[in-house]
Structure 1
Amino acid sequence: MKKILIILIPLAILALIVIKLVANKQVAEDKVYIYNADQAIPVTVTLAKNQEVNQSIQYTGTFEPFRESKLSAEVQGKVNQLFVENGSHVRAGQVLIQLDDALLKLQLEAAKVQVASLEADLKRYQVLVENDAIQGVQLEKTEVALASARIQVQTVQEQINKSQIKAPFAGIITAKLTERGDFALPSKPLLQLTDIHQLKLQLQIPESDLKFFAEGSPTQVTVPALDLTLSAKVSLVGSRGSLSKSFPVELMLNNLENQPIKAGMFGEVSLVNSLSASGIVIPSSAILGSDLQPQVYLVKNGKAILQDVKIARRMENQVLISAGLQPGDQIISSGLINVYEGANISINQ
């Protein structure tokens, strides 16, 4: 009996294990999704048809100053006086900073004394040469020395003039980068001067819309922050585009008298009537891939067919197609997640 039990018990345990493994396998197989290639994929389609498009497009850019400069000293020296602060309005030629020029003025006085002495010597030598009292070479040396001394006076005077830093144009001080007592060097910016009596609006325009921005053409610019609309003129159309096929365009406009528009504000240009067009318009959701190689799925004979298209313009949640589609084409606009080339399609009603 013991021998029989020793044989039966392991067999019973083994049988239970086999039964459990078979049951687990069945549960796992029931959970695995088996794709049925013949099953139709439900989708929503849009019928392609020609439409008239009247679109308003806004281009947003940033206002830049008409001109801006960081002012540095042409000669080195200590900052003795600073006549402006941040936000100061200055006129062209106004003195902004006075550097220490005491030593230069002393050098100028010494040079002037030298000139006066040589002029007196020159007069005496001229009399002596006329009376053959001395040789003419002495007179010539004095003339050369006098010319050199006069150049020295002009040189020192020019250095004194450069110790005053003046505004090269009218504008506003937008950055004060020094204080009284600092040491100025030709390579060290001291002030930033900004002219916003005119402003430049920088835009990036797609190549398809460049025809609306001919150089010199007038347009209207809106400043959303100030609720202002002003006249502007296209001053520059870039000759080199970016990888996304957009080109820099610059518009010039006059600021108002109190200069409410500041550099760095946003500006908008709207195109309305210029963008009227006709063509096949489809939902943006139907487009696959990028604008460089856009594609859509068509439904033909109950199957999904991949079709190359060409985008003329994007308009919010719609796209104007210029090539690749014909009126009457059925375009899959939603349910694309499971769609593939040649898939069976059922159209949601």
Structure 2
Amino acid sequence: MAFGMMRPLLLVSALGLPLLGQAATTGDIRVQLSAQRYTVLSSEIAGKVTDIAVKEGEHFKQGDTLVTFDCTVLREKLNYSNAAENAARKKLAIADRLDKLNSISLSDVDQARSSVSMAQAESGVNRAMLQRCVIKAPFSGRVTETKVKRWESVPEGKELLAIYDDSAFELEMIVPSRWLVWLRQGSAFQVVLDETGLSYPAEISRLSSAIDPVSQSVKVFGRITQSTAGLLPGMSGVAQIVPPDVGSVSP
């Protein structure tokens, strides 16, 4: 069998799902818990990290400052461009007064206006760059990994923190494609997580748009419908999905 044909079978095995011929008639399927929102924050500028406000495992709120860079140079650039913008505005004011007295050419007035526009644009760029000196949390959640150290000089694009939203989790599982006869979005089931030993009510939230032709399986996603406090991404367990007719899913 070609390697490309083996990949779906390997994926099913890795998730702990029996192959099609071994599927349990009870509807028990291995399931993995993942965060709906997960991202790795990266540096938008090259610079020195002066502060990391959160450690691995700690919680944070949306909008909290997570990482701060030394932006002395960028701050001075903004001060310089602001001063240049003020100077350009003063020159334009003088040019406008002279224009009313017919003591200046129209081209000189246009040049003064252009100088103000250019200075405004430069100040805007420097202001935007300065805002990148602070990395703020895009959502509330927890830190899974810190990838840099304080006082470390990093290049643009360097990965800084891996974070996730701990308020919304998703269940991922692979089921026999024949179950699509009765499995629907909103179908209720129970999931028992290995790490907690507890059972949680859940429901199917969405179905994959394609069936794997080799394993005759389909990826299915669900969500826990009660509080997910204390749960962590990466937890796994068994989804107990009861079909309307157990015999219809027999191998």
Task: Tell me: CA distance 1:57–1:135, structure 2 relative to 1, closer, same or farther (3 Å).
Answer: closer
Q: Residues 69-107 of structure 1: CA distance to partner in whole angstroms, max 9, x if unpaired? A: 011011111111111110111111211111111001111
Identify the structure with bigger relative contact order (alpha carbons < 8 Å, sequence gap 6+): 2
1:198 equivalent among 163, 168, 172:
168
1:131 to 2:101 alignment: yes
Q: Residues 9-44 of structure 1: CA distance to partner in whole angstroms, max 9, x if unpaired? A: xxxxxxxxxxxxxxxxxxxxxxxxxxxxxxxxxxxx
Q: In structure 2, what residue type is equivalent to 1:243?
A: V
Alpha-carbon shift at residue 273 of structure 1 (Å): 6.0
Equivalent pair of 1:205/1:248 in contact (CA under 8 Å): yes
Q: In structure 1, what residue type is equivalent to 2:124?
A: Q
> Corresponding residue for 2:197?
227
Task: Tell me: CA distance 1:254–1:73, structure 2 relative to 1, closer, same or farther (3 Å).
Answer: farther
1:248 equivalent among 202, 219, 242:
219
Counterparts of 2:212 and 2:186 in 1: how far apart (Å)? 20
Q: In structure 2, what residue type is equivalent to 1:91?
A: K
Please give the root-mean-square deviation of Cα atoms over the aligned residues, in Å.
Answer: 1.9
> Corresponding residue for 1:57?
27
2:56 equivalent among 82, 86, 93:
86
Equivalent pair of 2:203/2:225 in contact (CA under 8 Å): no
Equivalent pair of 1:222/1:228 in contact (CA under 8 Å): yes
> Corresponding residue for 2:181?
211
Q: In structure 2, what residue type is equivalent to 1:275?
A: D
Task: Tell me: CA distance 1:271–1:126, structure 2 relative to 1, closer, same or farther (3 Å).
Answer: closer
2:240 equivalent among 250, 254, 270:
270
Counterparts of 2:215 and 2:126 in 1: how far apart (Å)? 56
Q: In structure 1, what residue type is equivalent to 2:221?
A: E
Q: In structure 2, what residue type is equivalent to 1:132?
A: N
Equivalent pair of 1:82/1:96 in contact (CA under 8 Å): yes
1:177 to 2:114 alignment: no
Q: Residues 89-148 of structure 1: CA distance to partner in whole angstroms, max 9, x if unpaired? A: 111121111111100111111111111111111111111111112212111101100111
Q: In structure 2, what residue type is equivalent to 1:252?
A: R
TM-score (norm 2): 0.83
Task: Tell me: CA distance 1:146–1:272, structure 2 relative to 1, closer, same or farther (3 Å).
Answer: closer
Equivalent pair of 1:72/1:185 in contact (CA under 8 Å): no
Counterparts of 2:30 and 2:151 in 1: how far apart (Å)? 44
Q: How many percent of aligned residue pairs carry the same amino acid?
A: 22
Moved more, 221-230 or 148-157: 221-230
Q: Look up the SS of the partner of 1:106 in the other structure.
A: helix
Unaligned stretches of 5+ residues in structure 2: 1-24
Alpha-carbon shift at residue 191 of structure 1 (Å): 0.5
Unaligned stretches of 5+ residues in structure 1: 1-54, 279-311, 315-349
1:188 to 2:125 alignment: no
Equivalent pair of 2:182/2:243 in contact (CA under 8 Å): no
Q: How does 1:1-349 map to 2 (within 5 A)?
A: 56-238=26-208, 239-241=210-212, 243-253=214-224, 256=227, 259-272=229-242, 274-277=244-247, 313-314=250-251
Q: Look up the SS of the partner of 2:91 in the other structure.
A: helix
Equivalent pair of 1:198/1:254 in contact (CA under 8 Å): no
Counterparts of 1:62 and 1:116 in 2: how far apart (Å)? 59
Equivalent pair of 1:72/1:188 in contact (CA under 8 Å): yes
Q: Look up the SS of the partner of 2:224 in the other structure.
A: strand
Which one has a larger percent strand, Structure 1 or Structure 2? Answer: 1
Task: Tell me: CA distance 1:163–1:127, structure 2 relative to 1, closer, same or farther (3 Å).
Answer: same
Alpha-carbon shift at residue 242 of structure 1 (Å): 5.1
